[in-house]
Amino acid sequence: MAAMSTVLNEYSYFIEVTVAKNAGLLAQCDKTDTGTEKGVWKSRAKLKLDVSEFNKRLNAPDKTIYLGVSKENE
């Protein structure tokens, strides 16, 4: 469980530091990206993973965690 928490924190940091700062350049290099705010890289740059509450639940001694899937634009 600690490994899952670490991975989520690191992925959130990667999005914030690498993707968000370079979304424009990444869009230019990606033939499938439209370059608009709804393009692949600018959409991903807006992704904010708030994992603090999840980490609290994950590290609680008595835990039940339900995971779900949602669309990227929800």
DSSP string of 31-45, one letter each residue: TT--SSTTSHHHHHH
Q: Is 21 helix (H, G, I), strand (E, B) or coil?
A: helix
What's the predicted TM-score (pTM) here?
A: 0.61
- Identify the top-confidence range among 14-18, 25-29, 55-59: 25-29
Q: What is the CA radius of gyration of the chain?
A: 15
**Average pLDDT, integer, range 8-15:** 86
Q: How confident is the model at residue 71 (pLDDT cuts 50, 70, 90)?
A: confident
